């Protein structure tokens, strides 16, 4: 998160850190006791290894009361996701066991009504992604508030030039923005997860390249079917 601020500790108890060998790679969030939603492109550099999921954390390194690292039983990238574009950029992770829910570990409801969030709505996004252009990574969860911008503005020739589909939404990226490592985290508007951070043009803090999110509502049926099909 560029030019955000440290989140109030454990006030976003749905936040997950997807890790490989103890390193934060991407964000995610708890959508059910045994399920985390994130972004499919986060698996691009994992060479087929499964993530581990850190829940209940504010600091990535310090001991905290309800912080716990969960193994992943299975990962389900959306079948339409691919490395060439941001389409269907969703990843479902089934934890090895149900997460122990408590004050620091909580499920976040996601939007099921497929209707665009109005432009200028202030939404919030959080993550342990890079905090400046030198790629510095924070130890503590960062957050930032960003206004939604209309798909038409986001698709302008000088911005994302028509690549933003009805299954995506955008927020203004002037100065304050999402960045590397924030992918997979939720865009929360009025307490409901409306979108999942995607890398888009892999540029941060440039108003010409608004932040792009995968809208969740269009994928509610896919999410429900994967959760219902997998055992447990």
Ligand X SMILES: CC(C)CC(=O)Nc1cccc(-c2cccc(CN)c2)c1
Which residues between 35 and 74 bind ligand X (CB under 6 A)? 41-42, 44-45
Three-state SS at 221 = helix
Q: Identify whether 41 is a catalytic site residue.
A: yes
Residue in 88, 89, 104, 177 annotated catalytic: 89
In the bound state with ligand X, the residue whose beta carbon lies nearer, of 34 and 198, is: 198
Residue 54 CB, nearest distance to ligand X (Å)?
A: 16
Interior/surface letters 163-172, b for 16+ CB within 10 angstroms, e for the rest:
ebbebbbbbb
**Inter-residue contact 29 to 39 (CB < 8 Å):** no
Q: Pick from 105, 182, 188, 215: which binds ligand X (CB under 6 A)?
A: 182
180 binds ligand X (CB under 6 A): yes
Closest CA relative to residue 128, chosen from 229, 207, 30, 29: 29
* Count of residues interacting with ligand X (CB under 6 A): 19
Q: What does the buried/exposed string (b/e) look like for 50-73 if buried means 16 or more CB atoms within 10 Å of the residue's CB?
A: bbbbbbbbbebeeeeeebbebebe
Q: Of residues 89, 104, 124, 177, which one binds ligand X by CB under 6 A?
A: 177
Catalytic residue check, 173: no
99 lines the binding site for ligand X (CB under 6 A)? no
What DSSP element (H or E) covers 205? Answer: none
Yes or no: say if 188 and 125 are a contact pair by the CB < 8 Å rule: yes
Residues paired with residue 196 on neighbouring β-strands, in sequence order: 186, 214
**Phi, then psi, of 147 in degrees rounded to 5:** -80, 140
Smallest distance from the beta carbon of 113 to ligand X, in angstroms? 25
Regarding 172 and contact with ligand X (CB under 6 A), the answer is no
DSSP state, residue 217: G
Catalytic residue flag (residue 183) = yes
As measured in angstroms, the least distance from the Cβ of 20 to ligand X is 10
Q: Does residue 144 bind ligand X (CB under 6 A)?
A: no
Is position 7 an interface residue for ligand X (rule: CB under 6 A)?
Answer: no
**CB-based contact 179:133 (threshold 8 Å):** no
If the CB atoms of residues 45 and 152 are measured against ligand X, the closer one turns out to be 45
Q: How many CA atoms lie within 13 A of 9 on its CB side?
A: 12
Which of 7, 199, 217, 223 forms a contact with ligand X (CB under 6 A)?
199
Q: Which of 211, 216, 217, 223 binds ligand X (CB under 6 A)?
A: 211
Give the interface with ligand X as residue ranges (CB under 6 A): 25-26, 41-42, 44-45, 173, 177-180, 182-183, 197, 199-200, 202, 204, 211
Q: Which residues are catalytic?
A: 41, 89, 183
């Amino acid at each position: 998160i560029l030019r955000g601020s440290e989140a109030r500790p454990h006030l976003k108890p749905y936040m997950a850190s997807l890790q490989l060998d103890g390193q934060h790679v991407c964000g995610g969030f708890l959508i059910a006791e045994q399920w985390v939603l994130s972004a499919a492109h986060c698996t691009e550099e994992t060479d087929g290894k499964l993530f581990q999921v850190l829940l209940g954390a504010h600091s990535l390194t310090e001991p905290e009361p309800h912080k716990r690292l969960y193994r992943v039983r299975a990962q389900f990238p959306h079948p339409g996701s691919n490395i060439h574009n941001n389409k269907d950029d969703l990843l479902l992770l089934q934890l090895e066991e149900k997460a122990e829910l408590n004050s620091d570990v909580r499920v976040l409801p996601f939007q099921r009504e497929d209707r665009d969030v109005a432009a200028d709505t202030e939404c919030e996004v959080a993550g342990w992604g890079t905090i400046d252009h030198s790629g510095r990574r924070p130890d503590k969860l960062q957050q930032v508030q960003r206004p939604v911008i209309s798909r038409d503005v986001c698709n302008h020739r000088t911005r994302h030039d028509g690549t933003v589909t009805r299954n995506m939404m955008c927020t203004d990226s002037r100065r304050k923005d999402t960045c590397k490592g924030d992918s997979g985290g939720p865009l929360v508007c009025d307490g409901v997860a409306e979108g999942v951070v995607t890398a888009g043009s892999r540029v941060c803090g440039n108003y010409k390249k608004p932040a792009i999110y995968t809208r969740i509502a269009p994928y509610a049926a896919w999410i429900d079917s994967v959760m219902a099909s997998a055992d447990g």
